[in-house]
Structure 1
Amino acid sequence: MTASHPNAAKPALHGRTVVITRPSGTGSALAREVRERGGMPVLLPALSLHAMDDVASCADALKAALGDDLLVFTSPAAVRFAARLAPLRTQATVFAVGQGTARALRRHGVKAPLAPSLRQDSEGLLDHPLLAELHGRRVALIGAPGGRGVLRATLAERGACLREVHVYQRGMPRWQARHIEALKHLPIDTCVLLSSAEALGNLQQGLPAAAWAQLRGAMAVASSERLAEAARRAGFSRVRLAASALSADLLAAAAG
């Protein structure tokens, strides 16, 4: 029997241009996947990620949090920056907002992180039965400043003794001329992958007007209903909903 190609069952992109808006320095694996599926990746980072200014204080805060009852990691970046501060050794029950974050935790030695299997966002995680009643439980929310605040507010409402540990910070990216040049002649069937409302806002506010107008002409592939609506409000007339923010789901929607 002839072995099938590892990408045989994956939807092909048939030369379609795919704009990747992941944070600076994190889009190369997704770009490689786009090429393997026959697409043309364009890297347009819409966020920059940085360590917090006071690294020593962050490390102390994280080490204290590792002794809490429950840990909630908000993103793969939260895991990556936390692991630079201290080994992620803990007796706590560890939660991940999505499967990508859970994979990052396993790579850093957390054996059985809990993550939503369907809805890959804060609301999906909050449906977990172990987070339904938190009265008196010590819960650490590990991520970056800002965001929607859904986890923060809901965990506190459910009675958690909540501490937030900021292990990294997000900011505007620094685009180079090559990034802007790549947007000038996007084909009509281009897809732009969106998995962050903050990233979408950075694109809208920071890109030159002509470049933003060109990008808005693409098909927006959004990782959630909330983000799909944000894309429509930002001016995208064509919006397609992906099953989640996972790379495979975003690219499946882009190929559709």
Structure 2
Amino acid sequence: MGTRLAGCTVLSLRPVGGHAPLRRAAAAEGARLLALSPWRLAPRDAPGTAEALSRALAAPVVVFTSPAAVAHAARLQPLRVPPGAQWLAVGSGTRQALRRTGAEALAPERMDTEGLLGLRQLSEVDGLDIGLVTAPGGRGELAPELVRRGARVLRADVYARVPVAPSPRAVAALRRLRGPAWLALSSGEALATVLAALPGDARAALLRADVAAASERLAAIAREAGFRRAVVAASARPRDLVAAAAAAHPLA
């Protein structure tokens, strides 16, 4: 195990129940983890969800935006790639989730919206139907940019992010935070949700942390929110976010 982040706290904005991979990555560098969940994930059972998913999966190109999108879609119907179709995943975690259902997909090296939009399969899409399996909010620029490129986006929101209030225990821990801290940032929406929900003194404590961001766009969002320092990780993977923090930490 490494010690480059010994004495540090890694702040996690993952959904309720989703902190374990980041906790393990932080522990591998000697850091502890403080979980600040902005929301929990819930199935979306709105009328028409199953029908919208069927239409999306019938498109010649289908994009899955998260492992949760895969899991909740598979709850509604089997996931099978039609002959001649191309399925795309936002990153390796989503691709692996699809593989576990028996479906193969392509993922970009840069595992974010910009990486997806840079794929050849999404570059010339004028007049093309593209299925988007996702949740309300999140990947906010993906669908509008595909529409600007001339695609018809067939959206299936198969799960929802249900905001949760920060736990009193997490708020108290944030208020007590005195040592060096790194925020692992992979979602601008998660950051905005947490900042809006925290009491003023806890919010100020969070803003004193350094940021390891999954992209240049997220690093800019962090700086605009008031964080003083943001470095860019190789990807949104927990181990890459922690590695970026460890490489930039003053004691590294």
TM-score normalized by the length of structure 1? 0.88
- Structure 2 Cα separation of the partners of residues 213 and 151 of structure 1: 31
Give the alignment's Cα RMSD to 1 decimal: 1.9
2:120 aligned residue: 129
Give the Å deviation of 1:69: 0.8
1:99 aligned residue: 92
1:25 aligns with 2:17: yes
Q: Deviations over 1:104-153 (max 9, x none)?
A: 22222212x11111x22112111111222223332111101233532212
TM-score normalized by the length of structure 2? 0.89
Aligned AA (1:156): V
- Structure 2 Cα separation of the partners of residues 38 and 152 of structure 1: 39
Q: Which moved more, 1:213-222 or 1:95-104?
A: 95-104
Give the Å deviation of 1:29: 2.4
1:82 aligns with 2:103: no
1:70-219 superposed matches below 5 A: 70-91=61-82, 92-111=85-104, 113-117=105-109, 119-147=110-138, 149-219=140-210
Give the Å deviation of 1:175: 2.2
Q: Secondary structure at the match of 1:87?
A: coil
Q: Percent identity?
A: 44
Q: Unaligned 5+ residue runs, structure 2?
A: 248-252
The 3 A distance-change label for structure 1 pair 41 and 147 is closer
Aligned AA (2:103): V
2:232 aligned residue: 241
Q: Which moved more, 1:223-232 or 1:62-71?
A: 62-71
- Residue correspondences, number: 245
- Structure 2 Cα separation of the partners of residues 216 and 160 of structure 1: 39
1:52 aligns with 2:41: no
Aligned partners of 2:5 and 2:29 also within 8 Å: yes
Give the Å deviation of 1:53: 3.8
Aligned partners of 2:185 and 2:214 also within 8 Å: yes
Q: Secondary structure at the match of 1:183?
A: helix
Give the Å deviation of 1:160: 2.3
Give the Å deviation of 1:12: 4.1
2:250 aligned residue: none
Give the Å deviation of 1:46: 2.2
Q: Unaligned 5+ residue runs, structure 1?
A: 1-6
